[in-house]
Amino acid sequence: MIQFENVHFWYDQNPVLKDLNFSITGGEFIGIIGPNGAGKSTLLKLIDRLISPNKGNVRLGGNPLKIYSPKELARLIGYVQQDFTTTFNYTALDIVLMGRFPHQKALAFDSAEDVQISLRAMETTDCHYLKDREFHTLSGGERQRVVLASALAQEPQILLLDEPTSALDLKHQIHFYQILLKLKNERNMTILTVTHDINLAAQFCQRIIILKEGVIVADGRTREIMQKEVLQHTYDIPIRILTHPGNDLPLIFPEFK
């Protein structure tokens, strides 16, 4: 579905991503982890064509990204940014309806179908009861679920998320990832999430891509990748790995001296 072919990206001659080569198939739930400055968010922006490679190609469905119009791409890819803000007093439903733009004709008003699809998206993310609330009055967890609903209203095949739970408490972090897992299982949606919480990634993502200094240092199934030596090399700290008693997935802890 998505292919990176010898992709390089730099800002003002400062390398951010270096010679990336990997593929993503439909229906995968992938966690992208690594230290600050590793290039994780840049990778998502390349997929959503917010930026373009300085060298190499990113393909979608075998085709170069550049052949897709912005609306065509938005019907295929939903992107949940880290901090979504608005200066206007939109309601939560207004925000979700913005996700219908790729399916609307120029200057068209929201149709009954647009409203119905948007409300279903809000039900999926458990925020339908917030539809008449002004967005700026919502808590961090409520806002993230509304923004996710807006991305789902696009009816995309691929969902990109950049640190979607960074401002959420533990309960809402888990709830958010449970929603993502449900989307993956019920809709066979392809999901890529950038996160600094390596335990959330280990518990929910089936595949892990680890970036460090713009290079992929590991890529594979979660149990294979979440190894002590790999994580110690990635984060430059001592690591201890235990096994979750309920599902045998890895639990990662820093070693404190």
Q: Give residue 112's pLDDT.
A: 94
Nearest to 7 by CA among 40, 54, 49, 50: 54
C-alpha–C-alpha distance, residues 162 and 83, integer Å = 9
Q: pLDDT value at position 107? A: 67
CB neighbour list of residue 243: distance below 8 Å, 6 or more residues apart: 249, 250, 251
Burial status of residue 163 (CB atoms within 10 A of its CB: 0-12, 13-18, 19 or more): middle
Checking phi first, is residue 37 left (phi over 0); if not, alpha (psi -120 to 50) or beta? left
Q: Which residues of the chain have pLDDT under 70?
A: 107
Alpha helices by DSSP H, the chain: 40-47, 70-76, 92-97, 112-124, 140-153, 170-187, 198-204, 222-225, 228-235
Q: How long is the chain?
A: 257
Task: Output helix, strand, coil percentages for the chain, rounded to the nearest 5.
Answer: 40, 30, 35
Residue 105 has a pLDDT of 79
Query: SS3 for 103?
Result: helix
pLDDT, residue 50, reads 95
> What are the domain boundaries of the chain?
2-86+157-254
Q: Which two tokens stand for residue 149?
A: 């609903």
The confidence score (pLDDT) of residue 82 equals 75
Tell me: the pLDDT tens digits for 163-214? 998 878 898 899 899 999 999 999 999 999 999 999 999 999 999 999 999 9
Q: Which two tokens stand for residue 44?
A: 């998502």
Pick the CATH number of 2-86+157-254 from 3.30.2130.10, 3.30.1780.10, 3.30.70.360, 3.40.50.300: 3.40.50.300
Q: What is the pTM for the complete model shown?
A: 0.92
Q: Which of 51, 55, 56 is nearest to 3 (CA)?
A: 56
Calculate what percentage of the chain has a pLDDT beyond 90.
80
pLDDT at residue 65, as a whole number = 93
- How confident is the model at residue 252, as a pLDDT? 94
Joined tokens for residue 235: 């984060």
How many CB atoms neighbour CB 118 within 10 A?
26
163: left (phi over 0), alpha (psi -120 to 50) or beta: left
Within 10 angstroms of residue 115's Cβ, the number of other Cβ atoms is: 16
DSSP string, 22-37: EEE-TT-EEEEE-STT
